[in-house]
Amino acid sequence: TKSYDEEGNVVPAVLDFQASAKGGLNGWNEYLSKNLVYLISSRKKGEEGTVYLMFVVTDIGEISEVYCLNEETCYPDLVKEAKRVVREYPYRFTPQTFNGKTEESIFRIPIRFKLSD
């Protein structure tokens, strides 16, 4: 996307605000820690790993299109749980604004499942 000034000259595009969850990064991490469930069946099997998710935050702050980027190397139950907790986020994000207009953005996040020793 190109932006122009009053005289028709191309001006650099400006990211005004990156999308953020309610309460910012701390709020997002708090939500994940309170709502992510390490299934008993996965614990008993010793399933561990990091699930890398990608999702879209729409121009109105809703989460859509949740994908696992490493599904072929993760345990299916861990992938399912990671997707569930992201899809069920109860708040809207504050959407990204670019040159004064809200737009969708893409997030990539790791969700780590690790059994304690």
- Calpha distance 37→57 (Å, rounded): 23
Task: Indicate the pTM of the whole model.
Answer: 0.83
Residue bearing the bigger pLDDT, 116 or 76? 76
Reported as a single tens digit per residue, the pLDDT across 4-31 is: 777 888 877 766 788 899 999 999 999 9
Q: Is the separation of the CB atoms in 27 and 111 below 8 Å? A: no
State residue 46's pLDDT score.
Answer: 95
β partners of residue 55: 107
Calculate mean pLDDT across residues 48-69.
96
Q: Is the separation of the CB atoms in 100 and 12 below 8 Å? A: no
State residue 79's pLDDT score.
Answer: 97
Q: Which two tokens stand for residue 109?
A: 């996040």
State residue 1's pLDDT score.
Answer: 57
Burial of 76 (0-12, 13-18, 19+ CB in 10 A): exposed
- Calpha distance 111→11 (Å, rounded): 38
